[in-house]
With several copies, the nearest count.
Chain A
Amino acid sequence: MQSKQAVNDFVIKFANVNGTGSASANGMFAKAIFRMGIPVSPRNIFPSNIQGMPTWYEVRVSEAGYLGRRGGTDIMVCVNPQSMARDVEAVDPGGYFIYDSTKPLDLRLIRDDIHYIGIPLTEICLREYTDARQRLLFKNVIYVGALAALLNIDFEILKNLVGDQFKGKEKLITPNIYALELGHQYAHEHFTCPMSIRLEQGRTVAKHISDFDQILMDGNTAAALGAVYAGATVAAWYPITPSTSVVDAFDKYCRRLRIDPGTGKKNYAIVQAEDELSAMGMVIGANWNGARAFTATSGPGLSLMGEFLGLAYFAEVPAVLIDVQRAGPSTGMPTRTQQSDVLAAAYASHGDTKHVLLFPATPAECFEMTLQSFDLAERLQTPIIIMSDLDLGMNEWMSPPLEFDDSHTYDRGKVLSHDDLEGMSERFGRYLDSDGDGIPYRTYPGAHPDKGAYFTRGSSKDEYAAYTEDGQAYVRNMDRLLKKFETAKTLVPEAKTKQASKATEYGVMFFGTTASPSYEAVEILEAEGIALDTCRIRAFPFNTEVEEFIRDHERIFTIEQNRDGQMRRLLINETGVRAKSKLVPVLEYDGLPITARKIAATMRSYILESNVTSLADRQPVEELTS
């Protein structure tokens, strides 16, 4: 059997039992590779359960700097008997299966096309430790040590990581390093290290990463930082996977940054609401009253916020909602990823409504877009929904460092201050389109003793906020809201388009976490001589780049992680150009991030076929979509 050869380019997967402390050990493994200057992208594939169920941790090492999932598994580290059968199968031919050899391997699990590396983890732990908890925890550290030898991880880096991790709990450092050494030693004694798949430090840096000045962080933390930098002072939320860590992180940073040194009092307020309806109500109340407030949730919460989103749209109250999407419908798969709330968010609530959506693709964008979302919300006086997802929000991503320009100033939007009102001769009209951009002026409660007070309501009103059932006044208001949505197009982040090296009638559109694997797929095909232009959508309403991109291509693959091609539908509906016959859906919705291989394969076969039958005669092939 010939074994796979790979340097700085492979996929390794850990099969563990959740609640056994494997997460931190696995994290340390990924971080070590990262610190070696080799691009890495780890992914937690965990159950909706607290303890005792199978959980996986997939780490892609890619010198080229591809961060999306590649597909396949070169090395499987299996320490969970429950899932061993599945895990053996998952290994690519020529790959490695590393397991706890304390008990001999079930013969039915022997394949002749992969390598087996047994390490008696349990045995070592029984020998070395008496305490049951230690035996459980150090098992993980030991296999990391072994992998250091097998894959050629810089051992010093590992040791330093242990140091960082246990800052404050120093007495834990030595035993952990000892455990690392146990594994390291065992591997060295029993196997030829490194193996054919391995790491090498200091090779040419990934072509996607100018220099290796990168950070490793998850999107939820980045979004939370964005809220901190945006000056959000109120967060109201209700816990739900995978959005919980957004507010947790916001809390963490506020405790560091927002406590008045003198009084010890908080310059922020975080309230855990009784449910999502209430959370959104609080966000609306706070924004109405001039504070920047936000909430974070996932699908079920979004559904519950529908009525309030409609109120905010119609009464024109700013609001920021971070939707960290998971696999729906209903409870669905709470710990799996999807991009399936696109339509529900864009058209949330009854009646004629449309909402502004932002689609971050990296932690850096989670930071920037959350920062920007508060400006947009206050400028447009409407809810801004940030469409993140579990993959982006909860996994650690390599990302350029977060940047903030100190000359940045908040755009608080059209708010009349006490002095503005004082100076006003004409009567204040809350819903007057004074500037012709569809955006009216607002006032904060208490702004002025006898000017600027108005009545906010979800019912029909005239330009002076007076209740009305007059059809014409209603229509004027609804048309102004449409005009405002047009204005939004000029304010939201523009799409990012990229031309292929040669002219092509083919394009690819994607957004959020489908970006990385899509870019990779495009390069795979480019190498094969198939050229594709790319367009990364970053916001709804769609701005001109998007329409032009569709106009300029004959066939455009739309890469999404949902069943119904929701972004494709939104594009068909909300652009002024012919799109339906052009947009070819490429979909993945099994709850795991779509892989570059899958995208490439789907586009390749479609294009090769098209070279036979002319494009004109072909409708977008829905069957293409898995």
Chain B
Amino acid sequence: MTYLRPNFRHPDSPTNRLGYTRQHYEGGLSTLCAGCGHDSISASIIDACFELNIEPHQVAKLSGIGCSSKTPAYFLNGSHSFNSVHGRMPSVATGANLANRDLIYIGVSGDGDSASIGMGQFAHVVRRNLNMSYIVENNGCYGLTKGQDSATSDVGSTSKKGDINMYSPIDLVRVAIEIGATFVGRSFSGDKEQLVPLLKAAISHRGFALLDVVSPCVTFNNHQGSTKSYAHVREMNDAMPVDFVPMRQEITASYDAGTTHEVCMHDGSVVRLHKAAKEYDIEDRQSALQAIADHSKEGRILTGLLFIDRDGEELHDSLGTARRPLNELSEKELCPGSRFLDSINAGLR
């Protein structure tokens, strides 16, 4: 059960260009465990949408099943939401997007939901470059079923029971880059500074944007020996800082070209990466894979915007669908009428 927050609003709480306060982007009260990484991600999504001046009703939220997949109930109350079945959110999102290409699609999934039961659908939604933001709240375990290892659990990571995982992990980030994703980032639920701009960039990206966000499960996978614990991730996180400059806002402070690298997105907004971060060409798949591998060899976790292909064709481009949403077409436009049927009949005589 999700209670609504008391609708008290502080008189001078800041508003965005649409005149909405941050509160306007909130959802029901979370029923997750206190300290769950997922709640921090929900908060970041709220900030990102607030700052991007998005109309909540222009967003459709989709998820599978899991603690992570519950979170769409905890942000953007003003948006429609579809909490589907376990591991199959990508197909539901695909259908929804086909019906109306004009909405903003935010998918929330878990590592079990996407890398275990959902592996097949995940691979194929990437392949189709569906225009959506796909957020994996990655805690290396099945939270809602009480902590079993998921497919993203690292070799040698120990479960709460103390068992050591022996299977090589599926890194959704690498697989996505492999299969043709056009925007791939990794972040940490505890790093709002990086996560919020990344979310904004993902939402602004035209095509499939994957964000794999390490999000510790405080109840089942936050212990010593877990590579998905707050402590471990904080220690091992090699975070590449990310700035996001929305389209309309002209760039004020001039940066020394030497220290920053700017990626201009399809809609004109800009992702600014700091030199420190720009250690490889994030527009080349192989070097992205190489960089990720180099870090993980040292047991480090490289986070930030890891790869981007700015002009990949999204599904509607590949299909050549009309600009106008299919769900807006009227009977008049769709139904050929009896005249055509006569010609059909004629052809069959």
A residues neighboring B (CB under 8 Å): 19, 35, 48-53, 214-217, 225, 228-231, 233-234, 236, 238-241, 244, 257-258, 260, 263-275, 277-291, 293, 300, 307-308, 311, 330-331, 401-406, 408-410, 443-450, 453-459, 466-469
Q: Give the dominant DSSP class at B's interface.
A: mixed
B333 interface residue per 8 A CB criterion: yes
Question: Does B85 contact A308, Cβ atoms closer than 8 Å?
Answer: yes
**Of the residues B83, B100, B320, contact of A456 by C-beta under 8 Å:** B83
A330 to B97, CA, bound (A): 23
> In chain B, residues 56-85, which have Cβ atoms closer than 8 Å to a Cβ of chain A?
56-58, 60, 62, 65, 67, 72-73, 77-85
Question: Does A234 contact B99, Cβ atoms closer than 8 Å?
Answer: yes
How many interface residues does chain B have, given as a range? Answer: 35 or more
The residue of chain B having its C-beta at the shortest distance from the C-beta of A214 within the complex is B349
Chain A: minimal CB distance from B199 (Å): 20
Question: Does B80 contact A453, Cβ atoms closer than 8 Å?
Answer: yes
B142 interface residue per 8 A CB criterion: yes
The residue of chain A having its C-beta at the shortest distance from the C-beta of B327 within the complex is A290
Q: Give the dominant DSSP class at A's interface.
A: loop
Chain B: minimal CB distance from A285 (Å): 3
Question: Does A244 contact B322, Cβ atoms closer than 8 Å?
Answer: no
A551 to B279, CA, bound (A): 81
Question: Does A458 contact B85, Cβ atoms closer than 8 Å?
Answer: yes
Chain A: minimal CB distance from B54 (Å): 12
A241 to B67, CA, bound (A): 14
Contacts of B349 in A (CB 8 A): 35, 214-216
Question: Does A51 contact B88, Cβ atoms closer than 8 Å?
Answer: no
**Of the residues A258, A265, A445, contact of B103 by C-beta under 8 Å:** A445
Residue of B62, B92, B345 contacting most chain A CB atoms (<10 Å):
B92
Task: Tell whether A229 pairs with B146 under 8 Å between CB atoms, given A278-B91, A284-B92, A285-B99.
Answer: no
B304 interface residue per 8 A CB criterion: no
Choose, from B117-125, B207-215, B263-271, B285-293, the stretch at the interface. B117-125
Task: Tell whether A410 pairs with B331 under 8 Å between CB atoms, given A229-B336, A458-B84, A469-B1.
Answer: yes
Task: Tell whether A275 pairs with B116 under 8 Å between CB atoms, given A51-B34, A282-B92, A285-B96.
Answer: yes
B319 interface residue per 8 A CB criterion: yes
Chain B: minimal CB distance from A247 (Å): 10
Question: Does B1 contact A311, Cβ atoms closer than 8 Å?
Answer: no
Task: Tell whether A265 pairs with B99 under 8 Å between CB atoms, given A52-B31, A454-B80.
Answer: no
B residues neighboring A (CB under 8 Å): 1-2, 31-34, 55-58, 60, 62, 65, 67, 72-73, 77-88, 90-100, 102-103, 116-117, 119-121, 123-124, 128, 142-146, 148-149, 151, 219, 315-316, 319-323, 326-327, 329, 331, 333-338, 340-342, 344-345, 348-349
Question: Does B95 contact A286, Cβ atoms closer than 8 Å?
Answer: yes
Question: Does B60 contact A289, Cβ atoms closer than 8 Å?
Answer: yes
Task: Tell whether A217 pairs with B348 under 8 Å between CB atoms, given A50-B33, A449-B57.
Answer: yes
20 A-B pairs in the complex with CB atoms less than 8 angstroms apart: A238-B116, A265-B321, A265-B322, A267-B326, A272-B149, A275-B86, A278-B88, A282-B98, A285-B92, A285-B96, A286-B326, A291-B98, A307-B88, A402-B341, A444-B80, A449-B78, A455-B73, A456-B82, A458-B85, A469-B1
Question: Does A257 contact B31, Cβ atoms closer than 8 Å?
Answer: no
Q: Could you list 14 further interchain pairs (A-B, Cβ under 8 angstroms) beyond the known A19-B219, A258-B334?
A: A53-B1, A225-B341, A229-B341, A234-B98, A236-B95, A274-B116, A275-B117, A281-B84, A284-B84, A285-B62, A289-B327, A308-B88, A410-B335, A445-B100
Contacts of B95 in A (CB 8 A): 234, 236, 281-289, 293
Contacts of B55 in A (CB 8 A): 449
Contacts of A228 in B (CB 8 A): 336
Question: Does A53 contact B335, Cβ atoms closer than 8 Å?
Answer: no
Chain A: minimal CB distance from B164 (Å): 14
Question: Does B33 contact A447, Cβ atoms closer than 8 Å?
Answer: no
A265 to B32, CA, bound (A): 39
A290 to B324, CA, bound (A): 13
Chain B: minimal CB distance from A484 (Å): 20
